[in-house]
């Protein structure tokens, strides 16, 4: 357990039969004891799920009480009935927790194109409402209730001291495949007992997502359901954060989101490597981001790393077609700390040693250095394995 539930929240995860495996949780409730600030960041896919439409309309807000999440069914591409089901899911959750219908948010993840089994959703909400708690078991059951093909739940947390008061941040996320910014087939809910204005919460979340969930990829496929929510109960302090206190919170929130985001490509379907790509020395961060993302989405780079092959040519080539203008004769590349390419030309290195460093470590680190400025960006992805292909050729979507 790496996170404690912030003051003012209760949670539960239950199994209500949406997933084929009835032993796995598939419905989660996150309940605030009093009206709370809520902010959200969502998929930029033109084809988006009904829960995304509902939550976009309702955030940012200062009155939210409930978040209901189901896994196993995305409620995406389901037309008017899907929208009605999402609204009904929100209403049922609010009713079960003594809140108003418009004080509830919803998230769904799973198979696209199937209608929600609303009888199971209703039963699950009632069951979860009866089991709400704020201990470790409640938190972990809620985290398990939002995952689908993930190997395990994903959680993170921080505590910071502000003006003599302890503020907690705790988050959970899901995601393993169909991952490509902005954002990915992922859901995340982050709770804090800090007191914030809706505008500050929204701005802090957007900034944190830009450096975390928008910097990950598994295969570059943007989803229909991506949602990151921030809920602030205000239970730990009497006044909204401002000045240095707000800055400290934003830093901690960013750290939590990065920790959650890294776990997603690390859990990429069939992945054998988590790949960190650092690009530095660009004129702008956007340039660095574009190069890093292009390298991350290269199937040749990903398969090379899967095979523990320090094939620098694939990496350099991907940087060159990223669309960013730079001097290729001043480009250098390091892989797991070893210089492979400098100022536009290869250098001598021990390929066997570098290959062993890739084989013996789950994490692979790529550093591309340019000479165009002092901007930089970091991006995370997974390698591409036979297991990924096998899984996604069999998985019904």
pLDDT digits (tens, 9 = 90+) for 210-257: 999 889 876 655 567 778 999 999 999 989 999 999 999 999 999 999
Residue-wise pLDDT tens digits, 301-359 = 999 999 999 999 999 999 999 999 999 999 999 999 999 999 999 999 999 999 999 99
Shared domain for 82 and 173, answered yes or no, is yes
Q: What is the pLDDT of residue 393?
A: 64
Proportion of the chain above pLDDT 70, given as a percent = 92
Structure tokens at 36: 């709370």
Q: How many domains does the chain have?
A: 2
Specify whether 262 is located in the same domain as 355: no
Are 258 and 278 in a shared domain?
Answer: no
Q: Are 121 and 28 in contact (CB under 8 A)?
A: no
First to last CA, the chain: 32
Domain boundary among 214, 246, 266: 266
Question: Does residue 207 share a domain with residue 303?
Answer: no
- Average pLDDT (170-183) is 69
Calculate the average pLDDT of the chain: 91
Domain assignment present for residue 2? The answer is: no
Q: Confidence band (pLDDT; 50, 70, 90) for 265?
A: confident
- Please check whether residue 35 lies inside any domain of the structure: yes
pLDDT score, position 286: 95
- Domain boundary (220, 240, 266) is at 266
> What residues contact residue 143 under an 8 Å CB cut-off, 6+ apart?
13, 28, 153, 154, 155, 172
Q: What beta strand segments (E) does the chain contain?
A: 9-14, 27-42, 61-73, 104-111, 154-162, 165-174, 187-192, 216-217, 227-232, 274-282, 332-335, 338-342, 345-346, 363-369, 375-382
Do both 285 and 226 map to the same domain? Answer: no
* Domain interval for residue 323: 274-394
Q: For the domain that residue 359 is a member of, what is the CATH number?
A: 3.10.20.340
Distances (CA, A) of 207 to 13, 227, 267, 320: 29, 15, 24, 28
Among the ranges given (18-27, 229-238, 284-293, 323-332), the one the predictor scored with the smallest mean pLDDT: 18-27
Domain final residue, candidates 266, 301, 332:
266
Same domain, yes or no: 164 and 197: yes
Query: What does pTM read for this prediction?
Result: 0.90
CATH number at residue 153: 3.60.70.12
Answer yes or no: 148 catalytic. Answer: no
Based on the domain organization, do 188 and 299 belong to the same domain?
no
Task: Tell me, yes or no, whether 322 and 372 share the same domain.
Answer: yes
Residue 313, number of CB atoms within 10 A of its CB: 13
d(CA 26, CA 266): 22
What DSSP state is assigned to residue 141?
H
* Selected catalytic residue, list 185, 192, 276, 381: 185
Residues 235 and 284 in one domain: no
Whether residues 111 and 144 share a domain: the answer is yes
């Amino acid at each position: 357990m790496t996170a404690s539930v912030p003051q003012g929240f209760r949670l539960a995860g239950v199994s209500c039969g949406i997933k084929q495996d009835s032993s796995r949780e598939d419905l989660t409730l996150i309940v605030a004891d009093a009206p709370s600030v809520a902010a959200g960041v969502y998929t930029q896919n033109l084809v988006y799920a009904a829960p995304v439409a509902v939550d976009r309309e309702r955030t940012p807000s200062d009155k939210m009480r409930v978040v209901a999440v189901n896994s196993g069914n995305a409620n995406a591409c389901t037309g008017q009935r899907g929208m009605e089901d999402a609204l009904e899911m929100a209403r049922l959750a609010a009713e079960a927790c003594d809140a108003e219908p418009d004080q509830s948010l919803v998230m769904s993840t799973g198979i696209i194109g199937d209608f929600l089994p609303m009888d199971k959703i209703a039963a699950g909400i009632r069951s979860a409402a009866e089991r709400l708690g704020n201990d470790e078991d409640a938190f972990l059951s809620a985290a398990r209730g939002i995952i689908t093909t993930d190997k395990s739940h994903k959680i993170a947390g921080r505590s910071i001291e502000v003006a003599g008061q302890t503020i907690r941040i705790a988050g959970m996320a899901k995601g393993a495949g169909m991952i490509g910014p902005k954002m990915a087939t992922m859901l995340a809910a982050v709770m804090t007992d800090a007191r914030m204005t809706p505008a500050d919460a929204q701005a802090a979340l957007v900034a944190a997502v830009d450096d975390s969930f928008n910097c990950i990829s598994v295969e570059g496929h943007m989803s229909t359901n991506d949602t990151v929510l921030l809920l602030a109960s205000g239970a730990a302090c009497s006044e909204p954060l401002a000045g240095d206190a707000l800055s400290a919170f934003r830093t901690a929130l960013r750290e939590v989101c990065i920790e959650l985001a890294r776990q997603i490509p690390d859990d990429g379907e069939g992945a054998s490597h988590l790949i960190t790509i650092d690009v530095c020395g660009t004129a702008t961060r956007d340039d660095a981001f574009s190069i890093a993302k292009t390298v991350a989405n290269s199937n040749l780079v990903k398969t090379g790393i899967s095979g523990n092959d320090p094939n620098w040519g694939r990496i350099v080539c991907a940087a060159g077609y990223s669309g960013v203008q730079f001097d290729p004769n001043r480009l250098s590349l390091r892989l797991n700390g070893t210089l492979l390419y400098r100022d536009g030309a290869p250098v001598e290195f021990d390929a066997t040693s570098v290959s062993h460093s890739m084989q013996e470590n789950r994490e692979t680190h790529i550093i591309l250095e340019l000479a165009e400025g002092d901007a930089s960006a970091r991006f995370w992805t997974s390698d591409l394995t036979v297991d990924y292909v096998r899984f996604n050729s069999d998985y019904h979507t």
